[in-house]
Amino acid sequence: MKRILCVLLINVLCISGTLEGQAASKEALQIKQEYKTLKFGMTLTEVTKTMYGKEYRKYIKKKDGRVVFTKKPGTTGNEQGYRSLGYVLDRPSKNLPTTTLLEFSTKQHQKTYYLTQKALYYQGDTENGLYENSRTVVKPSALRHGMTEKQLNQLVTGKKLGQVSMYWSWNVSSVIKKSSMKNGRYKIYQFHQSHSKKIEVITLSYNTQKKRYEVDTEIGISLKYEK
């Protein structure tokens, strides 16, 4: 799944954005709510209806008996009869440009595509194209695997962790019943480092047993973008 995400990100176009003022805050909330309405296990048609409402038919077509987006997919795959399509959807904005990455998969040797992976990233004028948080990590050496968000916040300036740079999650249970990596949920922050021009990228994974996000220093997500 990590490899799939990296492949999906290859053709993403990076543009600058800011998170200033009330307009951006309202827009950030709206974007997150829209993203949350895209549920795993939805068919591609259901996702299109959710995103585009009554005009959804303009955005889909049938190809080889399968419903797909009219937009060309960024990635395609077919492993042992499980087909996949990955789409990169940009959302232009003066305040808060974002990109949504969606991956759909079929059940083995079947034709209906189901949503199995999604990511939302906030664009920024940085080396990797992700939004740069206004917070600063003052004690990067104190970062430890398994830290809670509350513990992480003690290493960061400000009362809260600030704007997330990226959300990423997957759930393949709608197409594969038995899988060692059936689901996962992550969010990524991009902070300043004190007394340095470098950026501290911190990934948090969701602990389903403890029902909380924790710092994950073991996962290697590539955040390199190519135009």
What is the C-alpha to C-alpha distance for residues 174 and 154, in angstroms, rounded to an integer?
39
- Kindly state whether residue 146 falls inside one of the protein's structural domains: yes
pLDDT attached to residue 19: 44
The answer as to whether 225 is a domain residue is: no
Residue 37 vs residues 26, 46, 118: alpha-carbon distances, Å:
17, 11, 12
Kindly state whether residue 139 falls inside one of the protein's structural domains: yes
| pLDDT tens-digit series, residues 171-201 | 999 999 877 778 999 999 998 766 666 778 8
Q: Do the domain assignments include residue 222?
A: no
Q: Which residues are bridge partners to 67 per DSSP? A: 62
221 inside domain: no
- Parallel/antiparallel/unpaired status of strands 82-91 and 136-137: unpaired
Give the pLDDT score at 22: 56
Q: 111-123, pLDDT tens digit by residue?
A: 999 999 999 999 8
Element (H, E) at 175: none
Q: Which domain holds residue 138?
A: 2-215
First to last CA, the chain: 22
Strand, coil or helix: 176: coil
- Would residue 35 count as lying in a domain? yes
**83 located within any domain:** yes
Beta bridge partners of 53: none
The list of the chain residues with pLDDT below 50 reads 1-21, 224-227
Predicted pLDDT at 194? 64
pTM of the model: 0.83
pLDDT at res. 24: 61
Q: Give the phi and the psi of residue 111 in degrees, each rounded to 5.
A: -110, -15
How far is it, in rounded angstroms, from Cα 190 to Cα 152? 13
- Is 224 part of any domain? no
Number of compact structural domains in the chain: 1
